[in-house]
Structure 1
Amino acid sequence: MATKKKTTAPAPPSCSVCQGSGEVSHTVHVGRNRRAVGQQAGLCLNCLGTGEAPTD
């Protein structure tokens, strides 16, 4: 009995903005002089959090 050859689809390319994580960091500003106090994680708007490169 012959065995079937398994074929796998190639992995989709990762997003260039978030490097495939789906999150990007944004600087948080506070006060009148807009002083930077830290960073906050946010959703990647290029891939909408999927981590895969968008297709045209």
Structure 2
Amino acid sequence: MPAAKRPRRTPAPKKKPCPDCKRAGQVSESFQIGSRTKRDSADRQEALCLTCFGTGHAPE
């Protein structure tokens, strides 16, 4: 008796990349220095992408 055929699995649809971080999950931001004057620094720091929360995929 032949074995029963299993149904084929369809591949999961590809998710679109996040428009802000381009699949990295992180963005670089400038930051401020000082207690009263709040000068902008020339340096940048990495931060979690708030659009996709670090997943790298566009929200649906």
Q: Unaligned regions of 5+ residues in structure 1, if any?
A: none
Report whether the alignment pairs 1:21 with 2:32: no
| Higher Cα radius of gyration | 2
Alignment TM-score, normalising by the size of structure 2: 0.70
Aligned to 2:42: 37
Aligned length: 53
**Which stretch shows the higher mean deviation, 12-21 or 27-36?**
27-36
Percent identical residues: 38
Q: Secondary structure at the match of 2:27?
A: strand
Report the Cα distance in structure 2 between the residues aligned to 1:46 and 1:30, rounded to whole angstroms. Answer: 26
Please provide the CA RMSD for this pair.
2.1
| Structure 2 portions without partners, runs of 5+ | 1-6
User: Is the counterpart of residue 47 in structure 1 residue 52 in structure 2?
Assistant: yes
